[in-house]
Amino acid sequence: MPPSADSGVRQLAKLKRKINAGAEDLKQIRNKGASALINPADKPLFMGMFATITRLYDQLREDWDSAVDLCEVYETDPAFPSATDDTILANAKRYYYECQSYHLQLSPPPSAPLVDTSMNSSSFMQPAPKARAILPKIQIK
């Protein structure tokens, strides 16, 4: 017995709720990142939220693909994705990339390796000499 179209509509509605919730979560993280640029007190919260962003975005894309597959199987009406759905995905993608940008701006710059600038030759970093530069090769008979 083929699955009922009503079942497909319910499954699609569930996936759309998950997609909308994921996009809203990305938006909230993006808003916290924008706030953290202005208010340093928001930085730790944004950095914690940022740790989940890739998983959230990946899950949103999985749900999107599942919804498309579901519509192909059940031929649901209205079809997915609609123009509204496309806008939600475009916004979610923008939120994701804006969060990446905020994270780069809020992360400390990479530190340069510490170099001893004293002239003391014992502490001056030099590349290791080649083995033959240390001792000449000795011919043993």
pLDDT tens, residue by residue, 106-125: 998 887 666 655 555 555 56
Residue 10 has pLDDT above 70, yes or no: yes
pLDDT digits (tens, 9 = 90+) for 53-106: 999 999 999 999 999 999 988 887 778 899 999 999 999 999 999 999 999 999
Q: DSSP code of 130? A: P
Report the C-alpha dihedral over residues 90, 92, 93, 94, rounded to 10 degrees: 90
The pLDDT value given to residue 1: 40
Q: How confident is the model at residue 128 (pLDDT cuts 50, 70, 90)?
A: low
State the Cα–Cα distance between residues 92 and 21, nearest whole angstrom.
10
Q: How many domains does the chain have?
A: 1
The pLDDT value given to residue 69: 93
Considering only 44-48, 89-93, 137-141, which range has the smallest mean pLDDT? 137-141
State the Cα–Cα distance between residues 74 and 84, nearest whole angstrom.
20
For residue 48, tell me if it sits in a domain: yes
Q: DSSP code of 57? A: H
The pLDDT value given to residue 74: 85
User: pTM of this prediction?
Assistant: 0.73
For residue 49, tell me if it sits in a domain: yes
Residue 77 domain boundaries: 20-108
For residue 2, tell me if it sits in a domain: no
Q: How confident is the model at residue 5 (pLDDT cuts 50, 70, 90)?
A: low
For residue 70, tell me if it sits in a domain: yes
Closest CA to 59 of 11, 103, 21: 21
Residue 131 has pLDDT above 60, yes or no: no
For residue 121, tell me if it sits in a domain: no
For residue 39, tell me if it sits in a domain: yes
Mean pLDDT of 8-35: 96
**DSSP for 87-109?**
HHHHHHHHHHHHHHHHHHHHSPP
More confident: 111 or 37: 37
